[in-house]
Amino acid sequence: MECSPGNQAIRRFKFRCYASAALVVLTVFVATASFRLLHLHGVVAYFMAVLPALPILWALVAVGQYLAEEKDEFQRALHVQYLLWGIGGTLAVTTTWGYLEDFVQVPRLDLIYVYPIFWLFVAIAMPVVRRRYK
């Protein structure tokens, strides 16, 4: 994302994203270590399982906050377009792959990969959308 010097909304968004990414790394480490070493089960196991998902949810909230805080209508419209292209690509890939799992026994794609697939498509969409408005 391009950052104009005075754009506070995008600075806050970047900070929240970096903080959430750091928390994801930390919580994945904690969850993996606790499952390996403590052999958790029951409610504690479920809690530790959802722990890495919480910072990811925070990143989603950060996107919503950014869209609410962004004063520049053009920048907001650009980001909305990135997100829409992202979900379009994600739905196309996950649906086709899901049916391929049924028909050809391709390797199973876990739900946890939906989130990175989405951001991959957002990243692909960014330069393409920006080029349209050059």
Partner 1 sequence: MSGRVGSPAKYRFEDRFLFIIVPLFVLDGILGIWGFHYHHLHPAGALAVFCATAQSSPIIAFIFIIGLYLAEEKDEFQKSVLVQSMLWAIGATLAVSTFWGSMEKYSQAPHMDIAWVQFLFCAVMIVAIGANRWRYR
Positions that interact with partner 1 (CB under 8 A) = 31, 35, 40, 45-46, 48-53, 56-57, 60, 63-64, 67, 80, 83-84, 86-88, 90-92, 94-104, 108-115, 118
CB of 16 to partner 1, least distance (A): 15
Minimum CB distance to partner 1, residue 46 (Å): 5
CB atoms within 10 A of CB 78: 20
* Contacts with 121 (C-beta within 8 Å, 6 or more apart), sequence order: 85, 86, 87, 88, 89, 90, 93
For residue 6, the minimal CB distance to partner 1 (Å) is: 25
- With a CB cutoff of 8 Å and minimum separation 6, the contacts of 71 are 9
Of 83, 12, 23, nearest in space to 53 by CA = 23
